[in-house]
């Protein structure tokens, strides 16, 4: 038995040393030019130099991340395909779809945490509210007058918008859009007055003063937005963030998973990379370990399960 274990150990080490021997693929379930795509391509370029192999980003957008997740789940578990996963694909979709052509828990193994993207509650500068409390008071004075843009009722922002209404006792009119960009542009144009989307998407517009931030959804204040309170400071426990993580099809050799994790951590902790991700509005704390990512995903499933139950969202 000991001989067998040693043989497996050495075989795994040899496999990891040889890998990658050909191009590696990252499947991204978002369109080109989106925040996940931009970060995936940036990190892929860094890993390409580290591995001396191409890391190709393959976009499979649309369908609430389902086509991309399905393609990744059905890929050969040989260490040459990874899923650049989002919150929606892994923890939200199981609660919003009655059936999925993939199983987030069964079909993937955790590899590395990439970054977190807190949500930001922001308003058009014409809205006479400088704080979240003032926004709540404004809405309660004229219920339903303020419209809040989001990416759709069953998207991350849409569900958080409903949760905010319920938690704060407000009646912001939730207006769904087909994508982040039109939601942002309509709020800048004052066709909607409030928006709740990711910091990565909003940061350029906040910096230019085209929108005013009132609160972030992270558990602690966000670097670069230190003056913006968290929602949890007003409503304890209100902590929801989007995130990107690298997953692999179940069955991918453990030695490759560990090497990919270590190398991704090496990239993420490089000061130049860390600054770039910060400039993109992302919170980067390194790759962690596959085990810590697995625990994070477990907690996220519980958190999102509670949110869906609290807002009474029914899967379709």
Give the pLDDT score at 6. 47
- Whether the CA torsion 204, 34, 150, 246 is positive or negative: it is negative
Q: CA-to-CA distance for 108 and 158, rounded, in angstroms?
A: 26
Q: What is the mean pLDDT of each run of 10 residues along the chain (316 residues)?
A: 50 70 97 92 98 98 93 98 95 92 97 95 97 96 92 82 92 91 96 93 93 94 91 91 96 98 98 94 94 97 90 85
Q: Domains in the chain and their CATH numbers? A: 23-116+241-311 (3.40.190.150), 118-234 (3.40.190.10)
β-partners of residue 85 are 245
Give the pLDDT score at 1. 56
Which single residue is written with the structure tokens 């029914």? 314
Tally Cβ neighbours within 10 Å of residue 186: 18
Strands 81-86 and 24-28: parallel
Tally Cβ neighbours within 10 Å of residue 180: 21
Give the pLDDT score at 314. 85
Q: Bin 224: left if φ > 0, else alpha if -120 < ψ < 50, else beta.
A: left
pTM for this prediction? 0.87
Which single residue is written with the structure tokens 């928006």? 195
Residues 6 or more apart in contact with residue 9 via CB below 8 angstroms: none
Give the pLDDT score at 7. 46
Give the pLDDT score at 14. 59
C-alpha 294: how far from its chain's center?
15
Residues 6 or more apart in contact with residue 56 via CB below 8 angstroms: 23, 24, 25, 26, 44
Q: Which two tokens stand for residue 184?
A: 């942002």
């Amino acid at each position: 038995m000991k001989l067998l274990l040693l043989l497996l150990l050495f075989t795994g080490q040899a496999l990891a040393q040889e890998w990658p021997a050909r191009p590696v693929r990252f499947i991204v379930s978002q369109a080109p030019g989106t925040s996940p795509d931009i970060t995936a391509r940036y990190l892929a370029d860094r890993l390409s130099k580290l591995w001396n192999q191409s890391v190709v980003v393959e976009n499979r957008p649309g369908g609430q991340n389902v086509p991309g997740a399905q393609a990744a789940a059905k890929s050969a578990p040989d260490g040459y395909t990874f899923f650049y996963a989002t919150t929606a694909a892994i923890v939200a979709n199981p609660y919003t779809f009655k059936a999925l052509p993939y199983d987030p828990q069964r079909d993937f193994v955790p590899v590395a945490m990439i970054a977190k993207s807190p949500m930001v509650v922001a308003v058009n500068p014409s809205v006479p509210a400088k704080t979240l409390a003032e926004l709540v008071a404004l809405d309660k004075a004229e219920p339903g007058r303020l419209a809040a843009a989001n990416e759709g009722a069953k998207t991350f922002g849409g569900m958080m918008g409903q949760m905010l209404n319920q938690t704060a006792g407000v009646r912001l009119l939730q207006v769904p859009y087909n994508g982040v960009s039109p939601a942002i542009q309509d709020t800048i144009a004052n066709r909607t007055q409030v928006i709740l989307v990711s910091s990565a998407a909003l940061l350029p517009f906040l910096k230019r003063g085209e929108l005013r931030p009132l609160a972030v959804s992270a558990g602690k204040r966000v670097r670069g937005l230190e003056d913006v309170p968290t929602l949890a400071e007003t409503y304890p426990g209100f902590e929801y963030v989007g995130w990107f993580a690298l997953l692999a099809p179940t069955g991918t050799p453990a030695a490759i998973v560990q090497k990919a994790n270590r190398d991704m951590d090496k990239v993420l902790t490089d000061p130049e990379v860390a600054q770039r991700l910060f400039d993109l509005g992302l919170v980067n704390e390194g790759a962690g370990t596959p085990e810590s990512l697995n625990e994070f995903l477990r907690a996220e499933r519980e958190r999102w399960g509670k949110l869906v139950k609290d807002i009474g969202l029914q899967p379709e």
